[in-house]
Amino acid sequence: MTIIPALDIIDGKCVRLTQGDYTQKTVYNERPLEVAKKFEDAGLKRLHLVDLDGAKEGTVRNWKVLETIAGKTALVIDFGGGIKTAKDVEIVFESGAYLATVGSMAVENELEFKNWLTRFGADRFLLGADVKNEKIAIHGWQETSELWVYDFIEKYIQEGIAQLFCTDISKDGKLEGPSIDLYKSILEKFPTLNFIASGGISSLHDLEELAKIGCGGAIVGKAIYENRIKLAELVTFNV
């Protein structure tokens, strides 16, 4: 299972939100490159970089942070938040991301997203399924749609998407453990999917449980920043 550290950006700073609430913000570091370099120095290979300003405003904002980290580390970066146009996708790739993370667009503008899959290749996208009560949430979790998560996944597997991460909003940032039952259910329905768990991970035990049910990866955020899980432990796990 691949461990993917999360780095969330507001105003160019590394932050974490609780349950996607912009009023519950903790600033961990004002220099995201320092954080990314720590991940790389510890032996981690990937980075989940989220432009929270972009997610809220509907346009990519913190691409300069992406450019800096991509230029000064060898991390394989997926970048998301505010990607709404093909030009945004171009900016993200030109700034050094290997994968463009898309969630809301795949719900609200299915035709345009499918055009991107054709133009750039489905393998260059990481599909994000943010979930609340098994329904897809959009706009940085500020709205919940009526789209059932299983229908959402099924639709885009048929379009060539092979990698997806799912975040249970009710768990995110609370360090109460991941939604094992939800993820197990998704994996049972879509056994060939490279499924990445996200939200609520608070310990190595959580990661062991996720690996046991067949997750291909896990995004870890707050647990790292609050020293619930040490980077050295993640590298040992990340085999």
Q: Tokens 């961990």 correspond to what residue? A: 28
Catalytic-residue membership of 21: no
CA angle 79/91/193 to nearest 5° reads 40
In whole angstroms, give the CA distance from residue 99 to residue 195: 15
Catalytic residue among 8, 168, 172, 206: 8
Catalytic-residue membership of 130: yes
In whole angstroms, give the CA distance from residue 77 to residue 86: 19
Distances (CA, A) of 41 to 44, 62, 221, 235: 7, 23, 17, 10
In whole angstroms, give the CA distance from residue 219 to residue 198: 5
Catalytic residue among 51, 88, 130, 172: 130
What are the catalytic residues?
8, 130
